[in-house]
Amino acid sequence: MKEIELDEPYSIPYRAIYAICDETDECAEIIEHSNCYGGAAWARHHYSHSPIVRQVRTLGNMTRYLVKTGNIPLELKPSSAAAGIEAVEVKDNEVAITYAGLGGGGVGATRCRAQAAGVVRSETTPSGGGRAAKGTIVVPKRKRVLIGIDDTDTKETGATWCLTHNIAKELDCAESVYLSHSLVQLFPVSAKTQNCVSTVLEFGCVDERAQNALLENIRSALEKYSVSKDTGMVVLDSFNASSIKEYSRLCRSAELTYEFAMEYAENHGVDVWMDGKGVIGALAALPWFARPDDSVIMDAELP
C-alpha cells in the first residue's frame, strides 16, 4: 500500500490566469488555465450566471470568460448559484478580478486562483467547509496579438501547423503568453500544397516591447525554418478581429488574388511582416483565433 502525503489536500492551484482587455477597457476576457477539468466545469456552469459575464467558452483545459468590466455584488445560493465572478476592474496596467463562492466553491474562488501563475498579488478570506469566501487576484493587463501564417511548406516537405505551434511554444513566456492555435480551412486553390490550410496564433502581450520582441522572433524563426519562398505572416492586435471577418469569408469561398489581400490588409490595420503569397491565406486565418473546432469546417460561420 502506498502512503500518500498531500501538502495541500484541499486546494488545486490553477495553472495560470490571464486577462485580455479591449481597446476601451470596457470588456475583458478572463482566461483560466486549469489543472482539474472537473472543477473548472463546475465553475464554468456557476460563473456563467454572474451578471458581468457575457459569454463562456471552453478551449482545451482553458475556460474563457467574456466579461463587461465593473463590480456587481453576487447573491450566492447553495447548489444553484454557489460561486461567480463579482468584479473585473482595470487600473493602469493591471486587472483586479474578484471571485466569490460557498463551500468548495469558495476554495476555488480564493486559494486555488490565488496560487495561479500570472497572479501578481492577491487578497483572500478564509474558505472551506460551509463558509462563504471571497478572493481578489491582480494580473497584468494584456493585449491580444494575432499572427496569421501560411505557406511555410512545399509539396515535398513541411507542415505549417506544426512549425507555427513549435515556434509559439518556444516563445511562450510571462510577457507574451501563447493562448491558442487554430488551423483554418481555406478554399482549395490550384497552388495549394495539399489541404489548403493556414494557421492563426493567439498571444497575450503585456506591452509594446513584449509584442515587438515576440513578432521579431517569430519572423526570424520562420525565415530560418520555412522551406517555401511564398511564406506570408500578418499581424493584428485586436480584441475580436471583426474587421477581417468579411475577407475570411471570401477566402473560404473563392480564390482571391495576392493584390486584393495586400490591399485589404493595408486598409484594415493589418501589418504584413512577411509578404509572400501566403499572405492570402494568413490574412483569412486571423478571425478564427481560439476557434479551432469551427475553423476546420469550410461552411462554419464566425459569430
- What does the pLDDT read at residue 190? 63
Give the integer Cα–Cα distance in Å for 253 and 256: 9
Give the integer Cα–Cα distance in Å for 99 and 95: 13
Half-sphere exposure of 158 (CA within 13 A, CB side): 20
pLDDT band at residue 187 under the 50/70/90 scheme: confident
Please check whether residue 153 is in contact with residue 281, taking contact to mean a CB–CB distance below 8 angstroms: no
Q: Grid coordinates standing for 81?
A: 448559484
Give pLDDT tens digits for 221-267: 999 999 999 999 999 999 999 999 999 999 998 999 999 999 999 99
- What does the pLDDT read at residue 126? 85
**Mean pLDDT to the nearest integer, 4-13:** 93
> 131 or 201, which is more confident?
201
Nearest residue to 288 (alpha-carbon basis) of 197, 195, 160, 155: 197
Please check whether residue 102 is in contact with residue 82, taking contact to mean a CB–CB distance below 8 angstroms: yes
Give pLDDT tens digits for 57-103: 999 999 999 999 999 999 999 988 899 999 999 999 999 999 999 99
Residue 187: CB partners within 8 Å, gap ≥ 6? 196, 251, 252, 253, 254, 255, 298
- Assess if CATH 1.10.540.10 describes domain 150-286: no
Residue 217 burial class via C-beta count within 10 angstroms: exposed 0-12, middle 13-18, buried 19 and up = middle
Q: Is the pLDDT of residue 192 over 60?
A: no
Question: Above pLDDT 70, what percent of the chain?
Answer: 98
- What does the pLDDT read at residue 157? 77
User: What are the domain boundaries of the chain?
Assistant: 12-139, 150-286
- What does the pLDDT read at residue 194? 59
Residue 92 burial class via C-beta count within 10 angstroms: exposed 0-12, middle 13-18, buried 19 and up = exposed
Q: Is the pLDDT of residue 193 over 60?
A: no
Residue where the block lists cell 460563473? 47
